[in-house]
Amino acid sequence: MTEPTTASIAGLLADTSPYLSCDDCFDRIDEYVERRLDEPGYEDLAMQTHLAGCGACADEALALQELLDQRPGP
Ligand SMILES: [Zn+2]
């Protein structure tokens, strides 16, 4: 069982965090979501900050995560 903690860090980074555009976010979102599932402790501050502030990308990340979570086993 893994629970996403995307929002937990966002508040800390509001002022000084790196900011991604939605295009940048989408370029990295597959890798980010897969890595989060493989390594529950993995953090990408730029991604997490963008996802915390961008509902469209957050929805995309969540959909991807659910898709990967439901991968049929061998
Ligand atoms: Zn976005």
CB 43 within 8 Å of CB 12: no
pTM over 0.75, yes/no: no
Q: Which has the closest alpha carbon to 49: 74, 26, 69, 25? A: 25
**Cα-to-centroid distance, 47 and ligand 1 (Å):** 9
pLDDT of residue 70: 86
Place of tokens 């966002």: 10
pLDDT of residue 52: 93
pLDDT-based confidence at residue 72 (cuts at 50, 70, 90):
confident
**Cα-to-centroid distance, 72 and ligand 1 (Å):** 29
Helices (H), 1-44: 22-38
**Cα-to-centroid distance, 70 and ligand 1 (Å):** 24
CB 47 within 8 Å of CB 15: no
**Cα-to-centroid distance, 64 and ligand 1 (Å):** 14
